[in-house]
Structure 1
Amino acid sequence: MNIFEFKSYKDFLNSYCEQERGSLSRLAEAGECQKSYLSACLKGKGQLSLDQAYGMAEHLELSDFEQDYFFLLIEKEKAVTPKLRRRLEAKAKDMARESFRLKNQQKDSLIISEVSSDVGVYYATWLTTAIHTLTSIPRFQTAPMLAKRLNLTIETVTPVLNYLLKMQMIEKSGDKYRWNSANIHLADNSTWISVHHSNWRTRATENIQKHDKEATHYSAVQSFSEQDFEKLKRKIAGFITEFNKVSDPSDPEEAFCLNIDLFRV
């Protein structure tokens, strides 16, 4: 259950209590309040104090950021003047958006915010990221096999391999080049982010022109509400989390790209 999908702390707690028998009693105990008081509060009568909310947040094992959002929802509902309520609503909306930023979906990855010139080379062309990814696949861990897979010459592939070795992103044993790094993701404010996206969208366009029947390409231009825009962003962020849960531990057999376009690299 994701607290950032809720605009009311009472809806959040009610949803939690509906999941398991006895949850209301445990929440009341954690908040050091009567079960009857908590029940009435969640039905619309009264508000929780921050002290009570803190105990419940600890019981729910909310992170610091989630707790801040939880407390903000309480302050919002306690606000008397419309002006203050609007300000707190705007702040809550910003926090919910922040929670779904892609860098927060990549919890087990290295996030690069400041890119040096050496690391910048990694994102300057699609070829570097493609070769790096392919070195995680046993059958593509030699220069000749990489060149054949990408329809390039060994003379083109070798400098990229040397660069990846220098950056310790791969390691060499005999004639084998093997992946040797964590998952890497650019921060949203990186100067290289537009180059990286452009590189792979260009590759997606080239793949479309090949009429690749195995690939998936989807584009849509539609009108809908601002509320549904936020809802769809959350669903996409959730899909990315699920995508990583499947793709990260998966046996490396082939390299793919997701934009949302999904095709062989």
Structure 2
Amino acid sequence: MYNDIEQARAAIVPRLRHTPRVGLILGSGLSALADEMDDPVVIPYRDIPGFHEPKVIGHRGELAVGLLAGQQVAVMRGRFHFYEGYSMQEVTFPVRVLRALGCDTLIVTNAAGGLRADWKVGDIMRISDQIFLPGMAGHHPLRGLNDERLGPRFPAMVGAFEHELVPLARTVAAELGVVLREGVYCMLSGPHFESAAELRMVRMWGADAVGMSTAPEVIVAVHSGMRVLGFSLITNLALPDGPPANHEEVIAAGEAAKPQFAALLRGILARM
């Protein structure tokens, strides 16, 4: 994998005008934030060895590197998913490349179903911890031989989301008047939306939001020594006795919350 990462980095670096410090992964409906970048270089995923083109609506499939809120960033406009048939190593490969480009911080976002009846669609949740169900079942991005050049054999995940950027995120949210929820994110493999029994199960485990991405990317970021700040946009209420979710609802909620979410991310970047 180390050689594959270097090959991808070599395909990207000659095209850049900035050396990114922060990597951003923008989930369903959120990739328009990259349109606000200054002096960007935009590289389609198809031009980067090891990257795949997303097939899901709301994921553009581009890497944009430039300035956002004065910060040098590399923004993934969309991701490819485990449920599309890729391995966990393939899904997390872009995180490895972000690290190789110079990013020491990863800000990861997703669209998620809210498991709390007292929350509402459009809420933003800072991920305070995660449950990686596919990984617990053996679909893990670190499975196999470990290359010490990339990270340790047994990375610790306790406290992975707790560091000096957390109070900054809370402060920026308060100044903007954004209600910032905090909770546990649970990843299931998808692509089906969860059954009522599955929703009851993950809620009993302590999850506050559920989705189909993010957890493996966080693990690889921590493995590679990056700080991680994660946010879930609550695009539907995933309640056992509520109406079933649909992907159109997810995209519509992302569009409606885009200005507030973008302002929060800009504010954090500006003060890092």
Bucket of the pairwise TM-score, normalised by the shorter protein: under 0.3
- Tell me which protein shows more strand as a share of its residues: 2
Q: TM-score, normalised by structure 2?
A: 0.22
Q: TM-score, normalised by structure 1?
A: 0.22
Higher Cα Rg: structure 1 or 2?
A: 1
